[in-house]
Structure 1
Amino acid sequence: MKNKELIFLLILIVSLLVLPMYSIGWEALHPESQIDVNIHDSYFIIPTLSAICVYIVFIIFSIYLFRALLQKFRNKIANLILIVSTMTLILIFTFLICLFRLWESTSSGYSSSTEGIATTQGNVWNFGFWMGLGIQLALIIVLAVTAYKTGRLFGQSQKDSVLLRFTGKESRHN
């Protein structure tokens, strides 16, 4: 069962690398290739390899979250892959939250009113910060639940092996 899970993960990663290349081109794997993103008044240039890595982690997280929920967290290897992908997404969102906070402090979304009080005019970075924080909180909850269920699964298998050795019913072919 462990080999099947790792083969499935390998096939998933390879397909996630190959399938987008047909839409964005193979030259996207070049280290100097970039994706240009225009959000509101800001223009961002993102390295393509970084965007592809975030895409792969998000898809792996989504698939393994669905599989873990479908299997009720009974597959240890799938749970461990979900834990690793969740931690990676938490790190990615930590980076994004820091960027949103930085962009919020440097944006020119402030104007003075008639009484001389500074007011904000729809600061999109503040919204992005709070949205990223909410997503990160949800990811931490998913991580805690998955770690708890996986820990119980490992603890249960250890208790079963100790019980089998104690009762003398351990199989001879191991």
Structure 2
Amino acid sequence: MNKYLKETIWLIILLLPCVFLYSFEDPTIDINVHDTYFVIDHFPLILLLIVMPGFLIYGIRTLINKFRDKFINIVFILFTVLIALLWIEAIIINDKLSSSGGWTLYPPLSAQPQKIEHEEYYFIANHTIMITIEVILILIALFTAYKTGKNKKIS
């Protein structure tokens, strides 16, 4: 089987579920969790559903091929950069949520305080950990690019 045909089939398998999810007419995804109702734009979710499996699949394939296949390395670098961009968006959202100083209830209840303070008890909400993960993603992309260039010089 042609190498590029095989890679195209892998990419189509990754993109097919996302095409079906994107074809819905409603531009938002509604999630109801107990008493909380989340409305999420479907584009970041679709991007996440494409990038996460792509990063894992091509990361494993890159390690199995020991960075020798140039096309797989380039696709893996692309998925790593996309994950890094999504992680930057997560850092921005985390900063916005943590700088608000709490939640405000509307309409304000007479017996409740105006602002409800929150504690940062989530593991991922730590700013240092989020920046460290971002740096690790960038280092993975740089290392893959280095190994791709090194293998090109050898052959």
2:108 aligns with: none
Q: CA deviation at 1:126?
A: 7.6
* Greater percentage in helix: 1
Contact 1:86 1:143 in 2 (8 A): yes
Mapping for residues 50-129 of structure 1, pairs under 5 Å: 50-108=44-102, 121-122=119-120, 124=122, 127-129=125-127
Q: TM-score, normalising length from structure 1?
A: 0.66
Q: Deviations over 1:72-103 (max 9, x none)?
A: 11111110000000000101101110110111
For structure 2, the 5+ residue unaligned runs are: 104-116
For residue 25 of structure 2, the aligned residue among 18, 22, 30 is 30
Contact 1:35 1:48 in 2 (8 A): no
Contact 2:22 2:46 in 1 (8 A): no
Quickly say closer, same or farther: Cα 1:75–1:150, change in 2 above 3 A.
same
RMSD: 3.1
1:134 aligns with: 132
Q: What percentage of aligned pairs have identical amino acids?
A: 27
Runs of 4+ in 1 over 6 A off after TM superposition: none
Q: Distance in 2 between matches of 1:107 and 1:136?
A: 25
Amino acid in the other structure paired with 2:15? I
More RCO (CA 8 Å, sep 6+):
2
Q: Distance in 1 between matches of 2:100 and 2:154?
A: 52
Q: Distance in 2 between matches of 1:37 and 1:83?
A: 36
Q: Distance in 2 between matches of 1:29 and 1:101?
A: 31
Quickly say closer, same or farther: Cα 1:5–1:11, change in 2 above 3 A.
same
Contact 1:100 1:126 in 2 (8 A): no
Q: Distance in 1 between matches of 2:88 and 2:40?
A: 17
